[in-house]
Amino acid sequence: MNPKLTSICDICLQRGRKAEDFPNQTVEIFAKALLYSFVGKDGKDNNLNFLVATKQKRKEYESFIQDYDGNELAEQQLKRADFNTAVIASEDGTINFLPSQNLDFSENLKNMGLDVNFQLNEVDFIDRERVRAKYHYRCQYCGRRGHSVDHKDPVSLSHNNDFDNLILSCSECNRIKSNMPFKLFKHLNDQIPNINKKLVKYENTLSTLKEEFEQKRRELAAKAHLKGVVNDPELNAIRKQNKKLQDAIDSLQSDYGALRKLRENYFTTEWKLNQENKRNDII
């Protein structure tokens, strides 16, 4: 089956417009490059009459549509055809509301008469504390200190808030994992045990050094207050010690940040490759 690209979007197609009546040089060139069929009118598209008159309004609709395309919870609960119907009604004035980039996606949906439940991942305070106590405030992925209660199977996929589906993670692992399936994230994480151990050592060492630095800083402030002077041999010696300690912290922090970034790139790349491997075409 030969894939086709149309000169107009799915919203205009849903309106009943015919792709054959409209030129679109960009899509036509793209289709030729991919050896796809192009459904549209031949010719230049310099003098287009936009359905939405102003550029600013078109930007508002474009941003709203992109929000829908990038939100799995919305896509699962709201059919594309129903979403398009609401956009069409807004464009035609049947719905007296224009999506705004200044409003949250949920507010725009509500004002468009669309219902999406964004609270599927609600876990009450007691259950969160139970999870934290169960895992002793340690991230179950990397081993660092953690307070983020994470869904093993992403709530956008499972809608499962049961205690067995909850695990503790640090905010960094929670963010990196995002909607990645638990089995895949765990498999990738199991490939880098030494990296995770290094992260724990970095965190512990930095915590110790920062605590020591703060203690010396307070000691310096107290002695300066008691002496009533700023320039003093004893105080200057403490300042030099603090400067060396701060340099060590900065150097270690830089190495720690580089390793964290490397680890994040590893997960991001593997996740993208996993998704790409499942696609049947390049569109």
The pLDDT tens digits for 41-78 are 987 776 667 788 888 899 999 999 988 887 777 887 89
pTM, to two decimals = 0.59
* pLDDT tens sequence across 110-159: 999 998 877 666 677 888 899 999 999 999 999 999 998 888 887 666 66
Angstrom distance (rounded) from CA 80 to CA 60: 18
Angle, helix 182-190 to helix 233-277, in steps of 10 degrees = 120
Q: How confident is the model at residue 238 (pLDDT cuts 50, 70, 90)?
A: confident
* pLDDT tens sequence across 206-221: 999 999 999 988 888 8
* pLDDT tens sequence across 162-173: 888 899 999 899
Q: Are strands 37-39 and 148-151 parallel, antiparallel or unpaired?
A: unpaired
Residue 177, C-beta contacts closer than 8 angstroms, at least 6 positions apart: 141, 150, 169, 185, 267
